[in-house]
Amino acid sequence: MIGLRGAPQKTLLALKEALKGVVLPEAVVTYITDWQDQRGEARFAIFVRQGRRRILSMDAFGPRFGAEGEAALEEMTQWFLERGVTLFREAVVSPSEYGALFELEERALEQQIEASGNPADPLLYLKRGFTSHT
């Protein structure tokens, strides 16, 4: 796992560092949350898959972690877009399974995320599109 749970800036920096060497235009970025239709209170972890590389951040992004969490989510999304990522997904994992997600082996983790993931518009995670204040 990359970063620290609930520490947006530290996790943002650690994730960017961990992504060095990943061919981002070929990557699939999945935002993982634990509640459907609760975007204004959401917490997100980020899972990046490219080739054989699999990188999972701790949950440190989004409005659940205040203004700093929202800013980190927006910055990370913008960073992905600027580096050519075009495949974004969102996976909603039930709250009862969310915590255990970070304990899974890589293959089981990927299966869980893929099973619950759906295509997502990255604009949802940028301030101009993020609906955290509604």
For 77-123, the pLDDT digits (tens) are 999 999 999 999 999 998 888 888 889 888 898 998 988 899 999 99
Give me the pLDDT at residue 40, please.
82
CATH number for the domain that contains residue 45: 3.40.1530.10
pLDDT surpassing 70 at residue 134: no
Give me the pLDDT at residue 133, please.
42
| Residue 84 within any structural domain of the chain | yes
Tally of domains within the chain: 1
| Residue 134 within any structural domain of the chain | no
| Residue 92 within any structural domain of the chain | yes
| Residue 51 within any structural domain of the chain | yes
Mean pLDDT rounded to a whole number for the chain: 91
- Show the domain range for 106: 8-125
| Residue 133 within any structural domain of the chain | no
| Residue 131 within any structural domain of the chain | no
Which helix (H) or strand (E) element contains residue 33? strand 28-33
Which helix (H) or strand (E) element contains residue 99? helix 95-101
